Structure 1
Amino acid sequence: MQIFKKFTFEAAHHLAANVEAGHPYSRLHGHSFSAEIYFSGNPDKKTGWVIDFALIEQHIEDIKKDLDHGYLNDLEGLSNPTLENIAIWIWERLYKVSTKVSKVVVMRGSCGEGCIYEGP
Structure 2
Amino acid sequence: MSSPTFEITKAATFDAAHHLPAGGPVGSPYTRLHGHSFRVEATVRGEAQPPVGWVADLAELESALRAIAGELDHGLLNEKPGLESPTLERLCLYFADRLGPAFPGLCRIVVSRPTINESCALVLDRGNGEA
Q: Tell me the TM-score normalised to structure 1 length.
A: 0.94
How far apart, CA to CA, are the structure 2 residues paired with 1:99 and 1:17?
36
Tell me the alpha carbon deviations over residues 28-77 of structure 1, each in whole angstroms, 9 at most, x when there is no partner: 00001111110000011310110001211221122022111111000111
**Structure 2 counterpart of 1:84, from 72, 81, 89:** 89
Q: Aligned residues: percent identity?
A: 40
Q: Please state how far the C-alpha of 1:88 moved relative to its aligned partner.
A: 0.8
Q: Please state how far the C-alpha of 1:18 moved relative to its aligned partner.
A: 4.2
Moved more, 51-60 or 33-42: 51-60
The structure with the largest helix share of the pair is 1
Residue ranges of structure 1 left out of the alignment (5+ in a row): none
Q: 2:67 matched to which residue of 1? A: 62
Tell me the alpha carbon deviations over residues 90-116 of structure 1, each in whole angstroms, 9 at most, x when there is no partner: 011000211111100000111111000
Q: 2:102 matched to which residue of 1? A: 97
For 2:25, the aligned partner's letter is E
For 2:43, the aligned partner's letter is Y
Q: How many residues get paired?
A: 120
Q: 1:111 matched to which residue of 2? A: 116
Q: Does 2:98 correspond to 1:74?
A: no
SS in 1 for 2:22: helix
Moved more, 25-34 or 8-17: 8-17
Residue ranges of structure 2 left out of the alignment (5+ in a row): 1-5, 125-130
Q: 2:31 matched to which residue of 1? A: 26
Q: Whose Rg is larger?
A: 2
Q: Tell me the TM-score normalised to structure 2 length.
A: 0.86
